[in-house]
């Protein structure tokens, strides 16, 4: 069964550093998403991406964050100047065109900012 692949599974970074989280969505999917889950809290929507541009973003997704689909297969989330409160599990998701289909999530990247 096709999977959404996320790398790395765990990343530790120092406060103030930039990190890039990588995702390979399912190949025929057209909509891409990033979510985060702070430990013990609910899953929160960050951003959606379609046709090479952001289609929707939440209040969390401020200027510190950016997304890119650099090569037609990878979908990245960049966090500039990380803060302690950015520590969370970050999930990538994708879905095929057509609104009846569910979202497929990756296994997540656990980001720890120290």
Partner 1 sequence: AQSVTQLGSHVSVSEGALVLLRCNYSSSVPPYLFWYVQYPNQGLQLLLKYTSAATLVKGINGFEAEFKKSETSFHLTKPSAHMSDAAEYFCAVSLSQAGTALIFGKGTTLSVSS
Count Cα atoms within 13 angstroms, Cβ side, for 22. 10
At its nearest, how many Å lie between partner 1 and the CB of residue 60?
Answer: 12
Residue 24: strand pairing partners? 5
Question: Interface with partner 1 includes 56 (CB under 8 A)?
Answer: yes
Question: Interface with partner 1 includes 22 (CB under 8 A)?
Answer: no
Question: Interface with partner 1 includes 58 (CB under 8 A)?
Answer: yes
- Give residues with Cβ within 8 angstroms of 96, minimum separation 6: 26, 28, 29, 30, 31
Binding site for partner 1 (CB under 8 A): 31, 33, 35, 41-45, 48, 50, 55-56, 58, 91, 93, 95, 97-100, 102-108
């Amino acid at each position: 069964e096709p999977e959404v692949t996320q790398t790395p599974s765990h990343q530790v970074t120092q406060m103030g550093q930039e990190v890039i989280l990588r995702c390979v969505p399912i190949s025929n999917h057209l909509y891409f998403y990033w979510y985060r889950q702070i430990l013990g809290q609910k899953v929160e929507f960050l951003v959606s991406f379609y046709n090479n541009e952001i289609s929707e973003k939440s209040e969390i997704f401020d200027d510190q964050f950016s997304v890119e689909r650099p090569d037609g297969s990878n979908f990245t989330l960049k966090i500039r100047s990380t803060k302690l409160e950015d520590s969370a599990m970050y999930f990538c998701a994708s879905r095929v065109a057509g609104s009846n289909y569910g979202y497929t999530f990756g296994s997540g990247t656990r980001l720890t900012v120290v």
